[in-house]
Amino acid sequence: MDSVPALDEPLKKVLGPATAKVMAEHLGLHTVGDLLHHYPRRYEERGQLTHLADLPMDEHVTVVAQVADARLHTFASSRAPRGKGQRLEVTITDGSGRLQLVFFGAGVHKPHKELLPGTRAMFAGKVSVFNRRLQLAHPAYELLRGDAEETVETWAGALIPIYPATAKLESWKIGKALQTVLPSAQEAADPLPGPLREGRGLVTLPEALLKIHRPHTKADIEEARARLKWDEAFVLQVALARRRHADAQLPAVPRRPRPDGILAAFDARLPFTLTEGQRKVSEEIFADLATDHPMHRLLQGEVGSGKTMVALRAMLAVVDAGGQAAMLAPTEVLAQQHHRSVTEMMGDLAQGGMLGGADDATKVVLLTGSMGAAARRQALLDLATGEAGIVIGTHALIEDKVQFHDLGLVVVDEQHRFGVEQRDALRGKGKQPPHLLVMTATPIPRTVAMTVFGDLETSVLDQLPAGRSPIASHVVPAADKPHFLARAWERVREEVEKGHQAYVVCPRIGDEEDGAKAKKKSPEDEAEKRPPLAVLDTAEQLARGPLAGLRVDVLHGRMPPDDKDAVMRRFAAGEVDVLVATTVIEVGVNVPNATAMVIMDADRFGVSQLHQLRGRVGRGSAPGLCLLVTEMPEASPARQRLNAVASTLDGFELSRIDLEQRREGDVLGQAQSGTRSSLRMLAVIDDEEVIAEAREEAARIVASDPDLERLPALRTALDALLDEEREQYLEKG
């Protein structure tokens, strides 16, 4: 058997089975190479202390600090009824703030002896709140004695690396494991082509790995980071460039609209003119559809920018050319809504083969999982014969039974809710690969689009159509100022009195067996000891209390599809004043008469989700109002997030804020499978320049050597990045 290359060596051989097991289970590290690429989160200087003032809640942190004082208390408890229970409280400080450590029971003896005032140590634990103060309960710690031989060796130099760690494995233990494997870094194959590396003045990969784990100066860290960022950006962009190159080789049927066809007839009846943005994006799409390889385009547009209109015109162009178009929506509510709005926009052009249908008409069919057998049979028949030019549906469209006469275009709505396998299955329904248009209302900063959707060309709709109204957003601090919440309900009543309607959004449905089990508690929950507000309870309280006398109804994801549709129809028809709902209304629901939205426990939602929800109001001529209700204290990160949402309607600005707060997840879709991120060093927001340059270099290299035959080390790095699962992810685009 060949000897295993040093970086592929399993950690259990090098570190022993116990440590290797924890690294595999909790950090996703399996080989020596994985561990070498587990970079420090930050560095502490021996003479300098951490900022205790900005510790993140509910996260495992490592801090270097000094003991200010330590007190042992005795107390009575169920286990020690005679007052024999012991609690050690240690206060540590770093000049910026103080933090309390607590130890209980038998665990107090060792720290009581060792953590004397003036002692410096590294402490690791989970930050929690007790009596509204931050604390670490039973933290692990390692004393920093300048003289102890082992300590000095372990943290050679003045900079102590602090690693992303877990409760089972503290940062300094990871540091010691790295000490063991660091010599193997010399054997790391360098994926960057020599001329590229030298041209940009980057250090070699072995040197970068040594400097990131054992820096002697801050300049070492900067050099290593600059190099490792380039690796991540470049290898990823090469993967995407190869994907684009392969797509360009695929055959597709060009689809050009007829000058006197259904698209021309549709355009002639439009009661409004398209915005400049809609016209420009449509031209880009029509140019793609006319080529003989498949279009792969991402259409980004703010909530309400008219993406559906652009997608419909693309579908009509394909129908004109004799093909069929399928629109895939993430939920039944949304599929039904798209079907309604498309048939309304098309009028008699959607009545192909029916009495009163226009000459150029086609059939527009709906296909969802909950349809009756007869309607479903008819829809399947219309698709197989080509009678239906347009089909709108949920993933029911993907089932084996569904056969198309000639599928020419697939439109996927809300990319991030759709599994890759599902899109792949639908693309497999065409005789040749169909053209693909992906629509998203979640604005994506340019670099993220280049990274996450790097195999798609991007179009952006950034103008709102005429007639859309501004939305005023305000944070309602319910705990600090209860009268603000009372005023919020008065505002809802005022909107209803003017003849408008309102949404109230809650994070939970409320018929779960046990709210606590349903969701792992967030730190804020722990602090507040209250489960998130629920639709069913809130609706009942509002109907009995502040909104008594108004017509209040509920909508949530666990209702039978027919009931959901019936509620939406009643709301759209103006028969319901206030709809209390979960985020099932987040995407695509269009009721122009709804002007107000109250989001309860708004801190439990993400930034882009709040922006999506808010886009449901102000869709008509009357201005919109969005109230973000929260009980979070003013200084909390949650409140800062809500203030950011209230301060701007610019989705691109908000998506930057969102990313800065929660990092990028895994750009190769690992978010879908829960493994750890392939981006460890690269921050897609901050490293815009590196990503853009890497994309250009990657395109150049792939154009001249698509199989990377001249660059074996780059091929090896690609294989490591694209293990089988990720390879499939890219394959399915």
**pLDDT for 83-133, tens place per residue?**
577 889 999 987 777 889 999 888 888 899 999 988 888 888 888 888 778
Please name which of 181, 198, 40, 186 lies closest in space to residue 122, comparing C-alpha atoms.
40
Supply the pLDDT for residue 685: 65
With a cut of 80, say whether residue 293 has pLDDT above it. yes
pLDDT of res. 628 = 95
- The residue that leads in pLDDT, 231 or 83, is 231
Q: Measure the N-to-C terminal CA separation of the chain; round to a whole number of Å.
A: 37
**Closest Cα partner for 333 from 536, 505, 562?**
562
As given in the structure block, the two tokens for residue 34 are 């994985």
CA distances in angstroms from 568 to 343, 362, 626, listed in the order given: 17, 27, 20
User: What pLDDT does residue 508 have?
Assistant: 83
Residue type, 697: E
Residue 733 pLDDT greater than 60, yes or no: no
Grouping H, G, I as helix, E, B as strand and the rest as coil, residue 553 is: strand
- Which of 314-328, 492-506, 642-656 has the least mean pLDDT? 642-656
Does 677 have pLDDT greater than 50?
no
State how far Cα 299 lies from the chain centre.
18
Burial class (CB in 10 A: 0-12, 13-18, 19+), 249: exposed
CB distance 120 to 66 below 8 Å: yes
DSSP 269: H
CA distance 708 to 702: 7
pLDDT given for residue 27 in this prediction? 85
pLDDT reported for residue 61 = 75
Q: What's the confidence (pLDDT) of residue 173?
A: 85
pLDDT number for residue 586:
62
Please state, rounded to an integer, the average pLDDT across all residues of the chain: 81
In 10 A of CB 581, how many CB atoms?
Answer: 28
CA 348 to chain centre: 40
Q: What is the pLDDT of residue 523?
A: 41
* Lookup: tokens for 522: 């967030």
pLDDT of 517 reads 42
Identify the weakest region by mean pLDDT among 60-74, 152-166, 475-489.
Answer: 152-166
Spatial contact of 32 and 12, defined as CB atoms under 8 Å apart: no
- What is the reported pLDDT for 512? 59
CB 479 within 8 A of CB 631: yes
Interval 213-226 mean pLDDT: 91
By C-alpha distance, which of 411, 438, 578, 558 is closest to 494? 578
pLDDT in tens, 557-593: 888 878 888 888 899 899 999 999 988 776 556 788 9
Return the higher-pLDDT residue of 146 and 396: 396
pLDDT at 528: 46
The pair of three-digit structure tokens given for residue 39, joined into one six-digit string: 């970079």
Residue pair 204/190 in contact (Cβ under 8 Å)? The answer is yes
CA gap 260, 657 in Å, rounded:
47
DSSP helix/strand/coil, 51? coil
So what's the pLDDT on residue 3?
Answer: 43
Tokens linked to 434: 């169909």
- Tokens standing for 589? 């629901």
Cross-strand pairs, 407: 324
32 neighbors 184 (Cβ within 8 angstroms): yes
Pick the more confident residue, 113 or 521.
Answer: 113
Structural tokens at position 580: 């209390």
Please tell me which residue, 146 or 370, carries the higher pLDDT value.
Answer: 370
Q: Could you give the CA distance from residue 564 to residue 537 in angstroms, rounded to a whole number?
A: 18
Do 382 and 348 meet the contact criterion of CB atoms below 8 Å apart?
no
Contacts of 704 (CB under 8 A, 6+ apart): none
Per-residue pLDDT band at 79 (split at 50, 70, 90): low
Q: In sequence order, what DSSP letters do the residues of 53-82 get, joined into one string?
A: GGPPTTSEEEEEEEEEEEEEEEE--SSSTT
Residue 287, pLDDT > 60, answer: yes
Residue-wise pLDDT tens digits, 384-395: 999 999 999 987
Convert 504-519 to b/e letters by CB count within 10 Å (16 or more is b): bbbbbbbeeeebeeee
User: Do 160 and 169 contact (CB within 8 A), yes or no?
Assistant: no
Quickly state the pLDDT bin for 660 (edges 50, 70, 90): low
Is the pLDDT reported for residue 731 higher than 50? no
As a whole number of angstroms, the distance between CA 653 and CA 132 comes to 32
pTM over 0.85: no
d(CA 598, CA 251): 50
Out of 291-295, 362-366, 425-429, 568-572, pick the least confident: 425-429
Cα–Cα nearest to 411, from 487, 325, 287: 325
Distance CA 589, CA 441 (A): 12
Separation between Cα atoms, residue 444 and residue 729, nearest integer Å: 20
Q: Would you state the torsion angle of the CA atoms of residues 560, 563, 565, 571, taken in this order, to the nearest 10 degrees?
A: -140
Is the predicted pLDDT of residue 454 greater than 80, yes or no? no
Distance CA(409)–CA(419), nearest Å, equals 18
Q: Which amino acid is at 696?
A: E
What pLDDT does 391 receive? 94
Angle at the Cα of 639 from the Cα atoms of 634 and 641, rounded to 5 degrees: 150
Question: DSSP label at 176?
Answer: H
Q: Is the pLDDT of residue 451 over 80?
A: no
For residue 489, the number of C-alpha atoms closer than 13 Å in the C-beta half-sphere is 20
pLDDT band at 2 (very low <50, low <70, confident <90, very high): very low
Q: Is the pLDDT of residue 547 over 60?
A: yes
Closest listed residue to residue 124, CA positions, set 189, 48, 198, 44: 44
Helix H segments across 630-711? 637-647, 651-662, 688-704
Helices 218-249 & 205-213 angle (0-180, nearest 10): 130
Residues 6+ apart with CB under 8 A from 203: 211, 223, 224, 227
What is the structure's pLDDT at 732? 47
Binned at pLDDT 50, 70 and 90, residue 207 comes out as very high
pLDDT at residue 356, as a whole number: 61
With bands split at pLDDT 50, 70 and 90, how would you rate the model's confidence at 625?
very high
Residue 93: beta bridge partners?
66, 98
